[in-house]
Structure 1
Amino acid sequence: MSSELTSPNTGPQGFDPDLLDRMIGAMGDAQVIETRCQALIQALCGPLEEAFQEAANIEISARPGDIHQGRRRDLLKALGHDAVYCESEIPGWSQEIASLCGTKLIIALVECLLGGSDPEDLDIVARPLSAIELDMSLLVFEQLNETLQTIVAKSVPSQAPVGNVGKGNAGKVAADKSVVNKPLLDIPEEEDDTLPDFHAAALTINLEFGNSSTPLTLIVPQSVLLKTKRIVGTAVKKPGDASNDWTERLSERVSRSQINLQAAVALAPLPLGDISRLQPGDLIGFADNGDIEVTLSANGKALYTCALGKSGSQYMVKVEGPAGPDENWRSDFS
């Protein structure tokens, strides 16, 4: 299904700016853009499935979704709900690519790759991503951009200038590595947006993982699609054994993440009536006599038992041992 989002805009002396954009190749006929988008989505789905399988050893089905046309900012506003935003470029094709991925897919991937959950058992509710989940989303956008670059390299005529770079060709597209910027939780405000509000097309691929389906949307300039007249599908084969790449990268991000710690000390028990009458300045003793035992926790989970001490004027704790038998507590920090 295709739809077109338009914003009223009138040029000097009532001249239609859309007509001018058509004349200079910045805007295409709706049916032409629709046809190019359908061809590109069909070419992307199979290789994208294979890219996910190669990179993470997980099965994600990619199915063609809706196509929308309109100004870039209007498309982002309409499609950017419950999604993470990422800008990217493919040298020799376009420097103005934007993508949106629903948060439910990222949350589910982190739970499965880090905690070993079965995708079929997950019941994910869309929410803002944590810092680790936001880092993880980069891997999804990398797979999309690298797959797109492979297709573009085979689709652009070998000697023709392509995209909105002005001097690239298919050899350039194939040789230079695509660039994926750091994903963002929110779409930039218009005054902070570094990309122009050009005529764009939004191509959605529905990614089915477990029992859920999440939209992955690619937003590209119509001018780029008009210059990419022959879209050829291709299989994606990545060199080397990358089956554990996502899990390893995610574990590395978890290990490097800054986590807030809490130290809890048991106090002497008091009757409820005495507790209700506590006033500022009252003193409560520790439950332990002699060495004070402290439980070190993070994210509400007990990690280590410690001894309370002092170094100079600063109180400190000395780790003495694990707080429990759970050796997989890192999976709770996603």
Structure 2
Amino acid sequence: MNSLGVTPGSPAALRNLLVERLIGDTAEPDKVTAAARALGERALPPIAKALSQLVPSLLQIELESVELGRISQVFLTESDNEPLTVAPSTNSPDALILSMDAAAVSLFTGLLFGAASDASLAPIERPLSAIELDIGGMVFQGIAEALNGSGARALNVRFPLPRPIAGEDRRKQVHRDGPSARLIFRIFNEGGSGLFCVTMPQRIVLSTRGVDDAGQAGSGEWQARLGGEVMRSKVAVEATVSMGTLTLGQVASLFEGQVLEMPAEAPGETRLSSKDKTLFICEFGRLGGHYTVRVKQPFDPEADLMNNLVPH
């Protein structure tokens, strides 16, 4: 299991990874943006209530913007003072990725330690202390509980959340990539303001049914049917093996029925691909009178790149 409590090689995780790799983004950008904005606006009152119970001072909150991007972009920051935590749920290892900027950390820390609501607080320009990370964790916990919801819209987030990370610990995190929606909230009072962000996989955003519920009435059955049709659709797969090199003249002189001898050092591994995308690393074998391809492991583009860069 990884740090999120999810088995990376589980059938569900592999299925989600393969579908995203083959199909790409979860849905149309306009539809995802509308769902994310509706979710953010619906979450404003419970988030404000959660923060009011945490911070003994009046704080205003507003949804500043919604941005579409990739999950991997959330971890790329040169700053050492912006905490982040990943909240897993029962159906996603990264249902919520919560982060805030240095100004928000300064604002929450000052208010929790008794600063006046109109006190001007400078953003933190150094690596965060253990206390500041703990404060970030308290804020993230309250925001996640507010966003979690209940009933059909519940995200089923697993609590308590992991302790926030920042700086190099944040940058070196390795998480699966995929299309995301980022909700950017601004918190402010008379003394200053800061930003905190909630990043979610697009499929999680759509599962909350953030678009006009009246227009979505009765759509659940159709979504289930369409989802089943997608999973039953036929996808051509190819397994190839490298045989070595030939000169252009040798290739030009090939003829029907010619047998090409494979060198003794020919690799036994093959890559299983579909739609020009490599999915698995496999190995050739035989079962009775039939040739077989045995799946060894999912294809890892980053590991493959490193193997090609490092000479053997």
TM-score range with shorter-chain normalisation? 0.5 to 0.7
In structure 1, how many angstroms separate the alpha carbons of the residues matched to 2:108 and 2:55?
10
CA RMSD in angstroms comes to: 3.0
Deviations 1:157-202 (A, max 9, x none): xxxxxxxxxxxxx5x83xx753411111226567x43420111111
Answer whether contact 2:57 2:117 (CA < 8 A) is retained: no
Answer whether contact 2:105 2:136 (CA < 8 A) is retained: yes
Q: How many percent of aligned residue pairs carry the same amino acid? A: 17
Pick closer, same or farther for the CA change 1:61–1:221 going to 2, 3 Å: same
**Structure-2 residue corresponding to 1:98:** 97
Answer whether contact 2:69 2:180 (CA < 8 A) is retained: yes
**Structure-1 residue corresponding to 2:219:** none
Answer whether contact 1:85 1:187 (CA < 8 A) is retained: no
The residue correspondences of 1:108-257 to structure 2 (distance < 5 A) are 108-114=107-113, 116-127=114-125, 128-150=127-149, 153-156=150-153, 173=156, 177-186=158-167, 188=169, 192-230=172-210
Pick closer, same or farther for the CA change 1:90–1:209 going to 2, 3 Å: farther
In structure 2, how many angstroms separate the alpha carbons of the residues matched to 1:231 and 1:57?
34
Pick closer, same or farther for the CA change 1:85–1:23 going to 2, 3 Å: same
In structure 2, how many angstroms separate the alpha carbons of the residues matched to 1:81 and 1:67?
24
In structure 1, how many angstroms separate the alpha carbons of the residues matched to 2:105 and 2:84?
12
TM-score, scaled relative to structure 1: 0.51
Deviation of 1:207 after TM superposition, in Å, equals 1.1
Deviations 1:124-181 (A, max 9, x none): 133232221111111110011100112xx2453xxxxxxxxxxxxx5x83xx753411
**Structure-1 residue corresponding to 2:85:** 86
1:69 aligns to what SS in structure 2?
A: strand
Answer whether contact 1:22 1:28 (CA < 8 A) is retained: no
In structure 1, how many angstroms separate the alpha carbons of the residues matched to 2:136 and 2:147?
17
In structure 2, how many angstroms separate the alpha carbons of the residues matched to 1:124 and 1:22?
43
Pick closer, same or farther for the CA change 1:130–1:199 going to 2, 3 Å: same
Answer whether contact 1:155 1:231 (CA < 8 A) is retained: no
Deviation of 1:225 after TM superposition, in Å, equals 1.6
**Structure-2 residue corresponding to 1:61:** 60
Deviation of 1:119 after TM superposition, in Å, equals 2.5
Answer whether contact 2:81 2:167 (CA < 8 A) is retained: no
Answer whether contact 2:80 2:128 (CA < 8 A) is retained: no
